[in-house]
Amino acid sequence: MATKRRSMAGIAVIFCITALTAFAGIANAHVEGGEHGGRHDRHDFRKIAKKLKLTDAQKAQAKTIFEENREAVKPIYTSLRDERKNLHNLMHADTVDEAAIRAETAKIAAIQADLNVNRAKVGVRFRAILTPSQLATLKTMREKRVEKMRHEKDDETTDPVK
């Protein structure tokens, strides 16, 4: 029984992370993905909004949440990009400085943690504007996405061509 609860809790955590990542990704797309990524993710938001049957007021609220977040994460993404460049340079140097590579990797992990916390907060704000029915639909959408990701991962591990 306890194992089943842990299993269910794990699934719930995966669901939450997946949902938050998707919605925060929409908000962050313009910052990290550039113009093309922003257009693509806005299209995804339109698709999600349609599936959730968001009202115009909800769409406006979501837009505000995501635009505010975009401004908040700009410096974080800039820092992440800079640290990744530093790590790349360290990894391709003529000599290996293991301590420096580990330190740079730790910096990147800390920045990534900041982004994950941000995504969680954005997800909470977004879900707060949804009705119970919309939340149920969102949950179903996320479950389908998790299942699709599992199948894709299985395909990657069993298909040597990929």
pLDDT by residue for the chain (162 residues), tens only, comes to: 555 656 555 555 454 454 444 444 544 444 444 433 444 444 588 889 999 999 999 999 999 999 999 999 999 999 999 999 999 999 999 999 999 999 999 999 999 999 999 999 999 999 999 999 999 999 999 999 899 888 887 777 666 555
Q: What is the pLDDT of residue 36?
A: 36
Report how far residue 47's alpha carbon sits from residue 61's, in angstroms, rounded to the nearest whole number: 17
147 lies in which domain range?
2-158
The residues near 49 (Cβ < 8 Å, ≥ 6 apart) are 58, 59, 62
Q: How many domains does the chain have?
A: 1
Q: pTM above the 0.75 mark?
A: no
CATH number at residue 16: 1.20.120.1490
Contact present, 107 and 83 (Cβ < 8 Å): yes
The tokens for 65 are 């949440």
Contact present, 77 and 32 (Cβ < 8 Å): yes
